[in-house]
Amino acid sequence: MEEIFADGRRVEIIRPDKIIWEVENIKKIDYIRYLLDVSPYLLEHAKDRLLMIWVYPHGIHSKKIEKRSVPVSAPDWVSSTFYKGKQRILLNDKATLIWAANYGAIEFHIPFDRYDMPDHPMEMVFDLDPPDHKSFDLVLEVSIRLKQVLESLGLVSVPRTSGSSGMQIFVPIHRGYTFKETRRINTFVAHYFAEQLPQKITLERPVSKRGNKLYFDYLQLWSGRTMPAVYSARANSKANVAAPLTWAEVEAGVKPSDFNILNMKKRIQEKGDLFQSITTGKSNQSLHDILRFIEKKHI
């Protein structure tokens, strides 16, 4: 057993030599050290948002268990808040992050709003989901076109791999718009793309109806729904992570498999935190003009 000290707390790591990612030979203690490396950036994205963790008690290729409430076995210092009759986990400090990983959390998922200001998303997000793992070139093509459309609306955006097969485009916004307002813009943009690229894009949410098209997900942006926190690991064989990108990298061509636990520390050292404009250096972009345009056109 090993011990990790964080925020003045001592966490005894259970089975630190347990292999989590066999292909990359990543042990539990390696994973926890990775989380400590990225914690300044992951926590900035996750803080004060009601956390949902996926626990894989029998390995990453087995059934996962969803946890949102503080377990009875958790120490009393785990960051949390009382919400709708339950004590919900908040990922607000390193000690809680390490406790969660030690508990078995592999993926950290968060909602778009914070518990202290519900119904007001911190950002808009477009989720581009390809029909299979071999179609990432289609994701890159659509994401570049989406960037151009958002720029025409006066909005800057930040691309990010999902850590799985797709990509998410984040748009930092002023904290004051409701889910209903941001969803109107997402809907407007999504239907525009479906009309422009009908052979490549679908808005059908059921997987069985998507065929070989990219799913342009504009419905995920809603109260209670979640996405992986930035730099969160994913439960796939390569230990990939949700990695922020530059638009130059998207244009040059990247793959989600390029970014994993083993290379993220060096990447941040070289490029810095590419998600900063969503978190610590957030751009409070206005949506008023776009909403007025949509209202005027009765869209």
Q: Give, rounded to a whole angstrom, the gap between the first and last alpha carbons of the chain.
A: 59
Tokens 């990543």 belong to: 26
The Cα 231–Cα 228 span in angstroms is 8
Could you list the mean pLDDT of each consecutive 10-residue stretch along the chain, which spans 299 residues?
A: 93 97 97 98 98 95 96 97 97 98 98 97 97 92 98 97 96 96 97 97 94 96 97 97 98 96 98 97 95 84
Superfamily of domain 2-111: DNA primase, PRIM domain (3.90.920.10)
Q: Residue type for 134, please?
A: K
Tokens 């209670």 belong to: 224
What are the boundaries of each domain within the chain?
2-111, 123-224+234-296
The pLDDT value recorded for residue 274 is: 98
DSSP strand pairing (201-202 vs 214-217): parallel
Number of DSSP helices (H) and strands (E) in the chain, helices first: 7, 15
Q: Provide the whole-model pTM.
A: 0.96
Tokens 């930092």 belong to: 172
The pLDDT value recorded for residue 239 is: 97
The pLDDT value recorded for residue 110 is: 98
Q: Residue type for 269, please?
A: Q
The Cα 103–Cα 99 span in angstroms is 6
Superfamily of domain 123-224+234-296: DNA primase, PRIM domain (3.90.920.10)
Do 202 and 128 touch, CB atoms closer than 8 A? Answer: no
Cα-based distances in Å from 112 to 177, 215, 240: 12, 20, 22
- 174 φ, ψ (degrees, to nearest 5): -65, 135
Q: Which residues have a Cβ under 8 Å from the Cβ of 112 and sit 6 or more positions away?
A: 121, 122, 123, 125, 179, 221, 222, 223, 225, 227
Q: Which of 68, 129, 127 is nearest to 103 (CA)?
A: 68
The pLDDT value recorded for residue 196 is: 97
Degrees, nearest 5: CA angle 225-229-235: 95
The pLDDT value recorded for residue 17 is: 97
Establish whether domains 2-111 and 123-224+234-296 are of one fold.
Answer: yes
The Cα 293–Cα 288 span in angstroms is 9
